[in-house]
Structure 1
Amino acid sequence: MEYRLNCGQYVLHAKRPFSADLEPVGPPLDQISIAIDTAEGTLQKHGQPDRVAAWYANTSKKLRDAGCGEWADNLVVVTGRFPVEEVNKCVGAMSYAGIFYKRLVAGEIEEMPFAGEQVDDAARPTC
């Protein structure tokens, strides 16, 4: 399973039964959401922002209702236009999500512009 960019949109690809090739399995997305357990550093959910947000709200409520508020506090959702390579690392290795989150918070991962958006080269950091 992996995301690919098609005309600036994320498209999830996966193997279908009896197929060796990856095929599109979801709608194109302008942005992607990633739910992460920050304590464990693991990926919990990824995909359409509205669905991931609904999963987060439901899961957090269930955890709090069960007296596990600390576990609920460990869940975060990030939404944006992240480099597809970083997203695929999260999807391919669940434990990479924690590294991704730390790098994102530290400013080491920049969001991609929307298709057609002009990027101000002067605003880019220099190495």
Structure 2
Amino acid sequence: MELSDEKYETIMESLEKGDSLVERGILKEALKKYTEALDNIPNPKNDYEIALHVYTALGDCYFNLKDFQNSCNNYNEALKCPDGLSHGYVWLGLGESYFELQEVNKAQDALMSAYMLEGKEIFNGEEDKYFDLIKQNI
């Protein structure tokens, strides 16, 4: 579905402000900006491509705040958006979140999806424990 230019710009502005706050380590304020961006997306939110980016940003932010249940929830919402299932990064975040929640089978499935979509490179810069969980299955 398409958003009006004005609505799209409003959402992007909140998303960019959130990204800027994350870069400065101000995660709780970033969360507010990402939530603001999400609130500006009409329902059903998952019908809009931009929701993929907002849910992913929320997932990342919650992950960095060590709120792994909320990061899982947001990454799962991102997967339901247009093209969500084909984004290895979303699968990576979801797998890492499940790992931190000790949901090993779900973590393996999501991390393997990330690997299948993007290859080993997607794990560059990530803690070894995530790739180690799936490497025996490759």
TM-score exceeds 0.5: no
Larger Rg: 1
The structure richer in helix per residue is 2
The structure richer in strand per residue is 1
Higher normalized contact order (CA 8 Å, seq sep 6+, divided by chain length): 1
TM-score norm. by structure 1 comes to: 0.29
